[in-house]
Amino acid sequence: MKKAIFGGGCFWCTEAVFKSLKGVEEVLPGYIGGKNANPTYEQVCTGETGHAEAVEITYNEYEVSYTELLEIFFATHNPTTLNRQGEDVGTQYRSEIFYLDEGQKQAAIEYIGILNDEKVFDQPIVTQVSQASTFYVAEDYHKNYFERKGTENPYCQMVVKPKVEKFKKNYASKLKE
């Protein structure tokens, strides 16, 4: 099993997307890239800890490649807005790839270069590519949040659900059965 860590805005959205992908064994929401050890959600939400909301993905590289994970990552969030995803604003919502080895770093840089060269987005990509630091798993109530609270939480209904539905429509062949 391999791991990948992506920050693409609210981790409820990112977790919900990657959990349904073939080859993904586990997706954990958490915090990375900040200065405080063991940050809490409340601390990260202030934007003062420097952490990003992110997901740690455990995947089977024989079923899904790192490049395919990058494809899904860039297709399911806006990598052109600095410290913002929709109405979520702050450094904790930044677009960032946290690489675990040189292969991931090079793959991320090359993939961003291709997207920029092909002008896939109207604006330049602002996604940062950074070496992974300690990943702190989020509090239990964030795990499987959309799965558990998606029908009752207004944010999930307005933001997470449409994103997950679009992903499932556009990547039907890559979904778990």
What angle in degrees, to the nearest 10, is found between the helix axes of 161-170 and 66-75?
130
10 catalytic per annotation: yes
Identify the CA nearest to 12 among candidates 146, 107, 110. 146
DSSP state of 139: P
Contacts 24+ apart (CB under 8 A), 64-69: 64/21, 64/22, 64/23, 64/24, 64/174, 66/2, 66/4, 66/103, 66/104, 66/107, 67/107, 67/111, 68/174, 69/4, 69/6, 69/18, 69/21
What distances in angstroms separate CA 162 from CA 6, 33, 39, 168, one per listed residue?
20, 28, 29, 10
In this structure, the number of other CB atoms found within 10 A of the CB of residue 18 comes to 24
Q: Annotated active-site positions, please?
A: 10
